[in-house]
Amino acid sequence: MEYISAFVVGGIICALAQILMEKTKMLPGRIMVTLVVTGAVLSFLGLFDPLKEIGKAGASVPLLGFGHLLMKGVKEAVDEQGFLGLFTGGFKSAAAGCSAALIFGYLAALVFKPKMKK
């Protein structure tokens, strides 16, 4: 049942992003930023955790989860460091995921030969 709920919640998030792409003139980069900001706002309002309980990885894997991770790091850092935590918290919480993406992307670039589109 967890797989089904993850599929449904993740599918709804992706469908909403696709609707934004089709019905508006927003570029994919702006839609991605919108999803990250939406995740941060849902986290701030305390609505992301209930969504994550329902959708498990379907809610936490898309960009909403990245926004939640940034906001969670900022909240913890502000509690510990005060105002300076506002600037450092998001970086500390997302550092491992961003580093892994960079390292694995680099390794994939070394293994596979890029080809130009014709």
pTM equals 0.78
- Residue where the block lists tokens 């986290």: 43
Is the pLDDT reported for residue 103 higher than 90?
yes
Is 56 in a helix, a strand, or coil? coil
- Classify the phi-psi angles of 115: left when phi > 0, otherwise alpha if psi is within -120 to 50, otherwise beta: beta
- What rounded mean pLDDT belongs to the chain? 89
Structure tokens given for 91: 């970086």
- For residue range 22-75, what is the model confidence (pLDDT) as tens digits? 999 888 899 999 999 999 999 999 999 998 888 888 888 778 888 998 999 999
- Collect all residues with Cβ–Cβ distance below 8 Å to 6 and sequence separation of at least 6: 55, 56, 57, 58, 59
